[in-house]
Chain A
Amino acid sequence: MTTTRRRFLRSGWKLGGTILTAAAGWTTYESLRPLVGSATGATVELGTPSNYAPGTATYVSAARLFVANTGSFLYAMSQKCPHLGCRVPFCESSGQFECPCHGSKYNIGGEWIEGPAPRGLDRFALTLDSKTGTLSADTSTVIVGPPRGAKQFVTPAKGPSCIPKA
């Protein structure tokens, strides 16, 4: 098959149009893609481990996370429900995380107990500075929460749920 000028031009403008469209799509995506998260990304100082008593979950508003002490482990946990993004408060009376949107519940270690959430609460990397003895959470790296089957910290609810009964 010989390449005529007409055939070359016909293919040429189609190829050129495709490349231009792809370039426009790519640059649009690159310009709209968030480079830095609006809520996370910084390393946040959390004080000494002694600030967090066993069996409690303390909210750190600067980093929008909970520091939970399960008794044996410390976790920095995202406040965002992995189901549909609602904020999950810690219910003092039941000792569990309870999502007000769709009723997902998590134990103090952030493991899924019940509800429609696909997994446990996401976590952030928590480091202990050996020199100063202080904790810090790196919120730029999200560690995907434990799968539904995880049962490391299973404990019954201490008391009534915080979600009001209809």
Chain B
Amino acid sequence: MADVQTPPAPGDGSDGSETPTRDALEPGEAFAPGTGLAARIERSNAWRSLFRHPNIDTPRGRALQSFSNFFLHLYPVKIPARVLRMRYSFRLGFIVTVLFFILVLTGVYLMFFYTPAVGSAYGDMQHLRTGVGFGQLVRNVHRWSAHLMVLAVFLHMMRTFFAGAYKKPREFNWVIGVVLLLLTLLLSFTGYLLPWDQLSYWAVTVGTNLVQYVPFLGHSLTKLLIGGDTLGQATLLRFYALHVAVLPLLVVLTICIHIWRVRKDGFAVPRLSVGETTSAGTFEEEATAVPSRVPSNAPKDLYGARTRVLGVVDRESITAEERAVDDTVFTWPHLLVRHAVVALGVCATVLVLGVAFVAPLRGLANPNLTPEPAKAPWYFAGLQELLSHFDPLVAGLLVPAGAVLVLVLLPYIDRNPSTLARNRKVAIVVFSSLMLIAVVLTVIGTFFRGPGWRFVVPWTHWYVEL
């Protein structure tokens, strides 16, 4: 019987041998040695019904912790070491997930103080400011998290494109990502109306009226969306139900599928193996190469060069072992610690934003007074800008529908298997140009437009509302 303090060698007791070595991980063995209260609690049946394995810092212990823990089970037990690098993914997918959880938590808090009724919604928002402990802060955090989530989803999509991580076999996960982008926009947009102030009322009026440009179905769809001809009680209730129930459930389901597929498809990193070219050449070359650096104190050979002779072998006998390099590390603690730090960083960021910047609340929504200017939320400002230049059919339908269609079909259109930037010049130039146009339009619509959609410069006239 092995002692708890001496971890067993990996593979012991799990390789099918007839007399497996028993260790602290085996049922019935010492779970937590010691006589202290903590050790006694850890040995209790109640504790062990929750945590089935002790916290043993061995490869087998870490693997078991991952297997037997629901939350850790979301992660693979081991991951390629390259995934740990910040520049691998910039943790953007994880940041989005953290922001979503912050939004759910703060959103549920806000639901305790909010009634989705035209007569009371605005009053509830004012009450939240003055009559609820930390109400304003939680609302601020909810607001800035929502904006950051839209931004992070967009950046996540950009990162995935430039890394070529949408290519086979990850095509469908890219499509799910596009669905998540749309759901995020809808979540943010439906939440925008709920304060029922002048800002939300007119931004949503403009946003929902974009739908009317869908040929044939436009007016019916707009009416279906807002529940009438103009925004009113029906709209508020519909947006509320979508915002707090329908869309979050869809997002949770879609995120689950998205992460599950990341697990199943593996991480999109090149794995070193025999025959693959690295910066040092092929693995065989690396294995049989003469060391380029020779110690300065090595003896000189006949020609005066310093060499170190380790042995003399026949050239024919030099072989390379054909084995993939194991570059994996345990998820716990390597990745989880990094994720914990990123999660803390995200929480700190939204908290600082929430303390520093107050979420806007204008006057009570007035259907008879349009503020100047009335802008859609910033992520639709590009579309609004486009609509001021082109025919509504083009700007309101063909461009946005075409953009979504191109995004969805991207992995099926781009069948170039290479993920290296130098082999994907056309795809990168085309995608970057389209994204740049979208960003420029959004920046112009958000910062450079004033009353009557006239061109203004933001450093003299500021008409930005978030």
- Interface set of A (CB-CB < 8 Å, partner B): 29, 32-34, 36-40, 61, 64, 79-80, 83-89, 98-103, 116, 118, 161, 163-166
Contacts and interface: CB of A to CB of B under 8 A. Distances in A.
Contact of A87 (B223, B368, B450, B453): B368
Contacts, number: 112
B370 A163 contact: no
A79 B368 CA distance: 9
- List the 5 closest A-B pairs by CB distance, nearest first: A38-B228, A103-B452, A85-B209, A163-B452, A166-B456
B387 A85 contact: no
Nearest to B210: A84
Contacts of B223: 33-34, 37
A87 B367 contact: yes
A32 B246 CA distance: 15
A80 B370 contact: no
Contact of A64 (B238, B368, B452, B461): B368
B374 interface: yes
B452 A102 contact: yes
Given A33-B223, A102-B453, A166-B450, A85 B228 contact: no
A38 B222 CA distance: 13
Given A86-B206, A87-B370, A102-B388, A34 B227 contact: yes
Contacts of A118: 391-392
A39 B224 contact: no
Nearest to B213: A118
Contacts of B369: 87
A7 B279 CA distance: 59
Interface string B223-236: 11001111011100
Give the residue among B367, B371, B374, B452 with the most A Cβ atoms within 10 A. Answer: B452
B454 A163 contact: yes
A32 B374 contact: no
Contact of A39 (B208, B209, B228): B228
A84 B205 contact: yes
Contact of A38 (B212, B224, B229, B453): B229
A85 B372 contact: no
Contacts of B455: 166
Interface in B439-466: 450-456, 460-461
Nearest to B450: A166
Nearest to A85: B209
A113 to B, nearest CB: 13
Contacts of B370: 86-89, 99-101
Contacts of A34: 223-224, 227-229, 234
A143 B391 CA distance: 21
12 contacts: A32-B227, A34-B224, A34-B227, A38-B229, A39-B228, A84-B205, A84-B209, A86-B374, A89-B370, A100-B372, A100-B451, A116-B388
B72 to A, nearest CB: 38
A100 B452 contact: yes
Contacts of A86: 202, 205-206, 370, 374
Contact of B452 (A32, A79, A84, A98): A98
Nearest to A139: B229
Nearest to B455: A166
B374 A100 contact: yes
Contacts of B384: 84, 102
Nearest to A88: B370
Contact of A165 (B387, B391, B453, B454): B454
A101 B453 contact: yes
B444 to A, nearest CB: 13
A85 B388 contact: no
Interface string B196-218: 00000010011011101000000
Give the residue among A34, A61, A165 with the most B Cβ atoms within 10 A. Answer: A34
Nearest to B386: A116
Contacts of B367: 39, 64, 87
Give the residue among A80, A84, A103, A166 with the most B Cβ atoms within 10 A. Answer: A84
B59 interface: no
Given A103-B454, A164-B451, A84 B224 contact: no
Contacts of B391: 118
A85 B205 contact: yes
A153 B202 CA distance: 30
Give the residue among A32, A79, A87, A165 with the most B Cβ atoms within 10 A. Answer: A87
Nearest to A61: B368
Nearest to A161: B452
Given A100-B370, A116-B388, A163-B372, A84 B206 contact: yes
Give the residue among A61, A86, A102, A103 with the most B Cβ atoms within 10 A. Answer: A102
B202 to A, nearest CB: 7
Nearest to A79: B368
Contacts of A98: 452
Contacts of A163: 372, 451-452, 454
Interface string B349-385: 0000000000000000001111111100000000010
A116 B229 contact: no
Contacts of B208: 85
Nearest to B231: A38
Contacts of A164: 372, 451
Given A34-B229, A101-B202, A163-B452, 15 more contacts: A38-B234, A39-B229, A64-B230, A83-B209, A84-B205, A84-B387, A85-B205, A85-B230, A101-B206, A103-B452, A116-B387, A116-B389, A163-B451, A164-B372, A164-B451
A164 B371 CA distance: 12
B193 to A, nearest CB: 14
